[in-house]
Amino acid sequence: MRAPRSAWLFTLGNEVVQGRVVNTNASYLGRRLTLLGFDVRGNISLVDDVSLVTEFLKYVMSKKPTLIVTTGGLGPTYDDRTLEAVAKAAGLNLVLNEEALMMVREKYSEKGLELTEDRVKMAYLPEGSIPIPNNVGTAPGCWLEVSGTIIVSLPGVPRELEAMWENWVEPRLRKLFPEIHIVERMFRVIGIPESSVAPIVKKILKAYGNVYIKTHPKGHEIRAPVLDVYVMGASENLEGVKRTVDEVVKRLINELKGLGGRIEGINA
C-alpha cells in the first residue's frame, strides 16, 4: 500500500493562466513527486492576486496535505507576492530573513550592484522559514513547516526551479520520508473501444486496491479504437509491488485478448 503522503501544486502567474507560458512546471513537479511516492491531489493555477492565492492556500491547508509546492512570484517586481500569500494563509508575519538577505546580497555584489528596496524584497520570508539556495537565479526559495504541512515555494523560471528541486528540495524530502518504489507498465490494445475496456478495468481495480489503471484513447472510439493502457503500483516493498503490477497487467491482457484485441508492447 502507498504511504499516506499527499501533495498539491500551485503554479502561479498571470502569464501561466492566460496561456502565454506553457505550464511545464506542473508536469515536471507532478512527475517528480509521483516518483517520490506522493499522491499528487491537484494543481491549481492562479493569477498574481494575493487575496485569491491566500484563499486557495487556506482551503488546501485545511485538508492537511503532507506537502504544498508553489511556483512563481518570488522575484523583485510588484506582482511577485507569493510569499505574502503563504504568510497570510499560515497566519504568520512576512519578515526579513537574514540568511536569505545574505544570499541576495552575494548575487548582486558579484556585479557590483547595490541592494535596492526591490532586491531586498526577495529576502522577506514567512516567519520560521528556511531559505532555499538559488544557484541559477537571484530569488531564494522558501521551505516552511506549519501545522504538519510542508510548504515549498520556488521561482517560476523552469531552469531555476528544476535546479533547486533536484539539488536541495528533493534530497531533503528523501531524508524525511521512507522510500516508496514506483512500478509502471504500459501497453497498447488495438481494436477494442474504451467503453468496452472500462468494465474490465473497473472489475480489476476492485480486486487490487493498491494499483492505478488508466486508459488513454489514441484512435477513434468506434472506427479505429486504439488505447494506451497504463498501470502503476507503489509500495515500500519493491518485489511485492512488482509482482502485483505484473499480475494485473497479465490479467488485463488476457481479458482484452479474449475480446479480440491486439496487444502491442510489454507482456504481449
What's the pLDDT tens digit per position in 226-240?
A: 999 999 999 999 999
- Check whether residue 145 and residue 261 sit in a common domain: no
Same-domain pairing of 11 and 131: yes
pLDDT for 8 beyond 70: yes
The pLDDT tens digits for 153-176 are: 999 999 999 999 999 999 999 999
For residue 235, give its domain range: 181-265
| Position 240 in a domain | yes
CATH of the domain at 242: 3.30.70.600
User: What is the phi-psi region of residue 211: left when phi exceeds 0, alpha when psi lies from -120 to 50, beta otherwise?
Assistant: beta
Q: Are residues 104 and 215 in the same domain?
A: no
pLDDT tens digit sequence for 92-131: 999 999 999 999 999 999 989 999 999 999 999 999 999 9
Same domain for 197 and 90, yes or no, is no
Are 50 and 159 in the same domain?
yes
Same domain? 224 vs 129: no
DSSP annotation of 189 reads: E
Q: Select from 176, 210, 244 the last residue of a domain.
A: 176
* CA angle (219, 224, 227) in 5-degree steps: 45
Do 148 and 81 share a structural domain?
yes
Q: How many domains does the chain have?
A: 2
pLDDT digits (tens, 9 = 90+) for 247-261: 999 999 999 999 998
In a domain, 100, yes or no: yes
pLDDT of residue 68: 98
Select from 118, 66, 122, 56 the least CA-distant residue to 88: 56
Residues 39, 109 within the same domain: yes
Residue 228 lies in a domain: yes
Domain finish residue from 138, 161, 176? 176
Residues 185 and 145 in one domain: no
Asked if residue 166 and residue 218 are part of one domain, the reply reads: no
Is residue 74 packed enough to be buried (19+ CB in 10 Å), middle (13-18) or exposed (0-12)?
A: buried
Residues 52 and 151 in one domain: yes
CA distance 19 to 22: 6
Q: In terms of Cα–Cα distance, which of 145, 139, 170, 149 is closest to 71?
A: 139
Average of per-residue pLDDT across 165-188: 95
Q: What is the pLDDT of residue 210?
A: 83
Q: Which of 156, 176, 196 is the last residue of a domain?
A: 176
- The verdict on residue 1 lying in a domain is no
Cα three-residue angle 250-267-244, rounded to 5 degrees:
40
d(CA 34, CA 28): 10
pLDDT at residue 267, rounded to an integer: 46
